Amino acid sequence: MATYVLGLSALYHDAAAALLRDGDLVAAAQEERFTRVKFDHRLPWHAVDYCLRTAGIAARELDYVVFYEKPLVKFERILLGHLATYPRSWRVFREAMIAWFGEKLWVKTLLQQHLGVPADRILFVEHHDSHAASAMYCSPFHEAAVLTLDGVGEWTTTALGRATAAWDGRGRNAIALEEELHFPHSLGLLYSAFTAWLGFKVNSGEYKVMGMAPYGEPRYLDRVERVARLAEALARAMGLDAGTVEEIAMAARLHDVGKIAVPDAVLGKPGRLTPEEHRLIRRHAEAGYQILQSAPLPEGVKRAVLHSHERWDGRGYPQGLAGEAIPVGARVLAVADAYEAMTHDRPYRRAPTPAEARARIAAGAGAQFDPAVVEAFGRIIDAFDREAAEARPPQPAATLRDAVSLAALERRATPARVR
């Protein structure tokens, strides 16, 4: 007797069904082919009918029906995720709950009712096992390493493991995912965060970002590199511990990532900004912080980015923190960023001389800047500028890997190990 397994994916992206007989594909189809509804995500009953008809069997002859993820585990993530940001997110939360209670939580019951298959024949696999299977079993390999990356499954966002396939009766079909990264750390969500802040629709406009990315130019790289070197030198001069120095250098390289949320016309505008344009510029601090939420970076790095425009006297943004309530990384960044901005040309003015710039930093102690950072600045800036002038101009980092020093991230990130 042959073994029939029906696989289903539904209620999120385009729904689809596939039918296997003794491990061989008999039929597979997307629901939208039958309903003519683009991206139709409803349970794919038409596609199921098609698969059964092709195989010439009835639904009760199915040995197993397998759903592509575990709805309850995903439900838990959504619940906890929303509770963490409650009450800011209560509206989204309510909508998510309605969607979940409507259908997703009852997948098993719906499948049982519609197909007439007993409950113990309905199985749920993990989201990333499904991704791994669709990658491996559509490939020509008998044996392969598998890497899956998406926005988020139940909790997993990235998984790494091994798989084998038995195409010709040799070996066996097996997948073992051994390492995982968990929500909220996610390359997919990082991409989505950029997409959202660029003004495109999430889960849809990512392809536009992907398509346009090669046309970007590393316009801010030199400036970011200068800020990072000065910030690191200041942190060292203040006697901060090695871990904090490393975090500050990393934060300096990422501190203006939120500027993607600000239109180019505003960033490069000569002359005075309108209040609305000021508002747009100011939102880059929070945008940067939110974008970095999906990256497995130390919290100190993210907080330094968020608060790098606070002022010692409390008149900065985004939260108006004052004095030592501002994270030390942000206080260091503020001085490094201001000095770099003053000593390099901006579209709207000529740079002041280094002496003028130093005088302005000194004058800002206790008002805009932390006096302790300004004191360290006074001690090192002569030597720092001399060395910078002698050194060859900074080479653009070849890849993001160089730019954010992935090695450092790898050491500090704590990917959860499961299984």
Closer residue to Fe ion (CB): 333 or 374: 333
Residue 47 carries which side chain, given as an amino acid letter? A
Residue 197 DSSP SS3 = helix
Closer residue to Fe ion (CB): 150 or 277: 150
Q: Tokens 């004095």 map to which residue?
A: 323
Residues in the chain: 419
The tokens of 157 are what?
């966002």
Sheet strands side by side (includes 24-30): 24-30, 16-21, 4-9, 64-67, 122-124
DSSP states along 45-108: HHHHHHHHHHHT--GGG-SEEEESS-HHHHHHHHHHHHHHTTTTTHHHHHHHHHHHHHTGGGHH
Nearest-angstrom CA–CA distance, 114 and 109: 9
Task: State the nearest-atom distance from the C-beta of 283 to Fe ion, in Å.
Answer: 11
The tokens of 244 are what?
């904090």
User: Are 376 and 234 contacting, i.e. CB atoms less than 8 angstroms apart?
Assistant: yes
Alpha-carbon distances of 279 from 273, 287, 307, 309, 316, rounded to whole Å: 10, 12, 16, 13, 13
Closer residue to Fe ion (CB): 246 or 256: 256
353: CB partners within 8 A, 6+ apart: none
Task: State the nearest-atom distance from the C-beta of 218 to Fe ion, in Å.
Answer: 17
Interface mask toward Fe ion for 252-271; x: CB under 5 A = ----x---------------
User: Are 124 and 69 contacting, i.e. CB atoms less than 8 angstroms apart?
Assistant: yes
Task: State the nearest-atom distance from the C-beta of 120 to Fe ion, in Å.
Answer: 27
Closer residue to Fe ion (CB): 78 or 115: 78
Closer residue to Fe ion (CB): 15 or 117: 15
Of the candidate spans 148-156, 175-183, 318-326, 395-403, the one that interacts with Fe ion by CB under 5 A turns out to be: 148-156
Task: State the nearest-atom distance from the C-beta of 21 to Fe ion, in Å.
Answer: 27
Of the candidate spans 8-16, 69-77, 78-86, 145-153, the one that interacts with Fe ion by CB under 5 A turns out to be: 145-153
Closer residue to Fe ion (CB): 225 or 256: 256
The reply on whether position 150 binds Fe ion by CB under 5 A is: yes
Rg, Å, the chain Cα set: 27
240: CB partners within 8 A, 6+ apart: 248, 328
Closer residue to Fe ion (CB): 126 or 256: 256
Task: State the nearest-atom distance from the C-beta of 128 to Fe ion, in Å.
Answer: 7
The reply on whether position 286 binds Fe ion by CB under 5 A is: no
Closer residue to Fe ion (CB): 150 or 385: 150
Task: State the nearest-atom distance from the C-beta of 337 to Fe ion, in Å.
Answer: 6
Number of neighbours of residue 289 by Cβ within 10 angstroms = 20
Task: State the nearest-atom distance from the C-beta of 149 to Fe ion, in Å.
Answer: 9
Residue 262 DSSP SS3 = coil
Q: Tokens 């197993």 map to which residue?
A: 64
Task: State the nearest-atom distance from the C-beta of 87 to Fe ion, in Å.
Answer: 29
Closer residue to Fe ion (CB): 31 or 256: 256
The tokens of 239 are what?
């006697």
Task: State the nearest-atom distance from the C-beta of 281 to Fe ion, in Å.
Answer: 8
How many residues interact with Fe ion (rule CB under 5 A)? 2
Task: State the nearest-atom distance from the C-beta of 188 to Fe ion, in Å.
Answer: 8
Closer residue to Fe ion (CB): 256 or 310: 256
Tell me which residue has its CB nearest to Fe ion.
150
178: CB partners within 8 A, 6+ apart: 160, 161, 162, 419
Of the candidate spans 2-10, 31-39, 177-185, 249-257, the one that interacts with Fe ion by CB under 5 A turns out to be: 249-257
Q: Which residues bind Fe ion (CB under 5 A)?
A: 150, 256
